[in-house]
Amino acid sequence: MSPQDRRAMALVATVRYGRLALSRHAMPYIAVARHAVVDDHLLIRVHRGWGVHGACDGSVVGYQADNLHTAADSVWAVHVTGTARVVPPHRAPAPDGPDDVFGPLPSFVEEPAFDPVHLRIDPAFVDVQFVRDVAQWPEAHAA
């Protein structure tokens, strides 16, 4: 991984959630995911009930993390493309398992209980988009 890619991954490490982009039933699909940067790859936690882990395992996926929610004058988005693999919990890179990396599980999802599945993404491409001097709007949306 290049020094520029490492700087981009350091930006990803400053936020907790992003978007996992995959192909599901030959259609584009986006899922929210919790992530952690571990060494030179991403470790992702998704809900098993969404069924996205099966479509991702062994496939090329995209992942985006950003600071768009901050309303800062400068915004960034990091796009990571690479192969995803399901990681068994006992092989996750943490002393006592992946929850040491991610923290507690969410208390609610659409399904009865959040059932975590962990994916490892080994980046093949890392791209950063910066936008500086973003104009601030008085309201979030015009009426």
List the pLDDT tens digit at each of the 143 positions of the chain. 899 999 999 999 999 999 999 998 889 999 999 999 988 899 999 888 888 888 899 999 999 999 988 767 788 999 999 999 999 865 555 545 555 677 767 666 666 677 888 999 999 999 999 888 766 655 555 55
The CA distance from 128 to 81, in Å, is 12
The CA distance from 84 to 78, in Å, is 17
Residue 37 corresponds to which amino acid?
A: V
Q: What is the pLDDT of residue 95?
A: 45
Tokens of 26: 């030959």
CB 9 within 8 A of CB 40: yes
Q: What is the pLDDT of residue 57?
A: 92
Q: Residue 87: name the closest of 39, 29, 128, 127 by CA.
A: 39
CB 27 within 8 A of CB 106: no
